[in-house]
Amino acid sequence: MKKITIAIDGFSSTGKSTLAKQLANHLGYIYVDTGAMYRAVAFFAMQNGYISASFFDKETLINSLPFIRLEFKFNPDLGFGEMYLNDTNVETQIRTIEVSNFVSKVAEISEVRSKLVEQQKQMGENKGIVMDGRDIGTVVFPDAELKIFMTASATTRAERRFAELKQKGDNVTYEEVLKNVEERDYIDTHREDSPLVMAEDAIEIDNSHLTREEQFEVVLSLVSEITKTN
């Protein structure tokens, strides 16, 4: 069957990566979580003291970009590629609330975006890819055969993210998580370079009231339609 490119964009914590992983596993496609790449750059900035609650040395981060090497290495036990920053597995470190608090500021920088977008385009050269993020259908793969735009209410998303972080033993409050979700929504939709917008040809899915399975079935039938007619 002909391989296509699937772009999944949307607000944070809408379950983009869950859907993308399900699709990639089912179709035998590569899965790329572009948020992990932005998170790894934010983690690098934190590690090197370029960013903190009251300080951000953008210039030094931009000058350090040639020394940031990002790679996904497939972990067969997990069924997806884990994020490596300069040969170190940072999959756990990039998922903390601290990284979530800084990542939107890092993702606003055009130099960061162009470096990551170039790498993402290369990953999709041979199609057969499901990529999730904020600008995949608009900037990375404007010609993707299938573009999904996922939404859900901020409170639904905060509840999901809070449960996830709690399960991992992260010591956060629901209010903190909701504040982070709302702040990221604002920054993601208002930044100058590649703000989060729905591509004109994207299909919107509000999953506030859909189960994972229902959502998966909806998107899988869209994939079947496209691969049938292509």
Binding of residue 32 to ligand DC (CB under 6 A): no
Binding of residue 137 to ligand DC (CB under 6 A): no
Separation of alpha carbons 102 and 149, rounded Å? 24
Binding of residue 34 to ligand DC (CB under 6 A): yes
CA 60 to chain CA centroid, nearest Å: 25
Q: In 3-state terms, the chain is what percent helix, strand and coil (to 5)?
A: 50, 20, 30
Separation of alpha carbons 185 and 95, rounded Å? 17
Q: What is the β-pairing status of strands 55-56 and 51-52?
A: antiparallel
Restricting to residues 97-136, name those near ligand DC by CB under 6 A. 103-104, 107, 133-135
Please state the closest distance from residue 143 (CB atom) to ligand DC, in A: 17
Which CB, 95 or 145, lies closer to ligand DC?
Answer: 95
Restricting to residues 169-228, name those near ligand DC by CB under 6 A. 184, 188
Number of residues near ligand DC (by CB under 6 A): 13
Binding of residue 147 to ligand DC (CB under 6 A): no
Look up residue 11 and give its two tokens: 């607000």
The amino acid at residue 41 is V
Residues near ligand DC (CB under 6 A) are 12, 34-35, 38-39, 103-104, 107, 133-135, 184, 188
